[in-house]
Chain A
Amino acid sequence: MNATEAWAAVVTGEDAAIYAYSVAGAQVAAGSRQRAVAGLTAHQSNRSRAAALITELGDDPPPAAAGYVLPADIATAKVARATMAGVDNALVAIYADAAAASGADIRRWAARTAAEYAVRAIGWGADPQAFPAGPASAQ
């Protein structure tokens, strides 16, 4: 996977995460709202940074999809939390790919973002995974 492909996958994943956080983040209890807002802000900011990287590489960032399929029972706080945990853990693997495809400075950012998202997933109730990759162990 070259750098452009790896970062395009990041942008696509961040777009899905922004959508998921926008919908699911509104369903969690008031005590978790701050966490949801912080997560949404991080996803938006990292999406912009990843898109800018692709532009620097001389390519166009992929467009966001019109919408995404979310679990039918997203309105329950439990499913909302599991959904956010799932997208965060999925992005860990996508950022690890992007880290591998990038030089040192960008790689540092990618690896730190992967770690930040893995921590965020635990905050939403996910079980720890040896190699974070998706929603499998989100509760």
Chain B
Amino acid sequence: MPDATAIAITRRQGLLALALLGPVGVLAACSSSPDPSPAGSSASASLAPADASAQHETELIALYDAVLDAYPDLEPETITVLTTLRDQHGQHRDALGGSPDATAKATAPENATAALAALVSAEHVASRERIRACIDSPDAETARLLALIGAAEAAHVPALRDLRT
């Protein structure tokens, strides 16, 4: 018979270790992963996946902004969710080393239903491209960050699905 105390400790280490995994490790990844490239023309190939992904995040933010601007009369809960998801893309952009001052053009679809569908579609594409960039990344920390962002964006799809206009 295993010692009961030993089992209790093992149990405690088990789910608690998993459940208490806080955002600390993620924040560490965010602060270290963009690895700003040195000044000059030495823009390394290893940063390319992060750069392209950061630009794509800026485009997603522009699309959310265009939808929020065009349809201020959406259900309040819908606006709250859209604002949250938009802000998460801002965190993705920042973590990937993108500038908050970067801009992109986006046009809201012609009605609110089409606008929500366009966001779902954009999140699908974003998740797929982040995972592709993760696979292609020669840098492990960037790969880790892109895997997390790809997962977050995959989760945006069901978060958008049940929203009412």
Which residue numbers of A lie inside 8 Å of B, CB to CB? 12-13, 15-17, 19-20, 65-70, 86-87, 90-97, 99-101, 104, 107-108, 110-112, 114-119, 121-123, 126-136
Distance of B158 from chain A, by nearest CB (Å):
4
Per the bound structure, the CA–CA distance linking A114 and B135 in Å amounts to 13
Contact B131 A115 (CB under 8 A): yes
If A122-B155, A132-B148, A133-B26 touch, whether A67 touches B143 (CB-CB below 8 Å) is no
Distance of A34 from chain B, by nearest CB (Å):
16
B interface, size bucket: 35 or more
Q: Is B67 an interface residue (CB 8 A)?
A: no
Which residue numbers of B lie inside 8 Å of A, CB to CB? 2, 7, 10-23, 25-26, 29-30, 84-85, 87-88, 91-92, 95, 127, 131, 134-136, 140-141, 143-152, 154-159
Contacts of B159 in A (CB 8 A): 122, 127-128
Distance of A130 from chain B, by nearest CB (Å):
4
8 Å CB contact of A90 from B21, B141, B150? B21
Query: What are 19 inter-chain pairs, A to B, with CB distance below 8 A?
Result: A19-B14, A20-B15, A66-B2, A93-B25, A93-B26, A94-B21, A99-B134, A104-B135, A107-B143, A114-B148, A115-B127, A118-B152, A122-B155, A122-B158, A128-B156, A129-B152, A130-B87, A131-B23, A135-B19
Chain A interface secondary structure, helix, strand, loop or mixed? helix
Distance of A95 from chain B, by nearest CB (Å):
7
If A16-B15, A67-B7, A68-B14 touch, whether A130 touches B92 (CB-CB below 8 Å) is yes
Per the bound structure, the CA–CA distance linking A116 and B157 in Å amounts to 11
If A117-B151, A136-B22 touch, whether A111 touches B92 (CB-CB below 8 Å) is no
8 Å CB contact of A128 from B20, B23, B152? B152
Contact A119 B135 (CB under 8 A): no
Contacts of B13 in A (CB 8 A): 65
Contact B148 A131 (CB under 8 A): yes
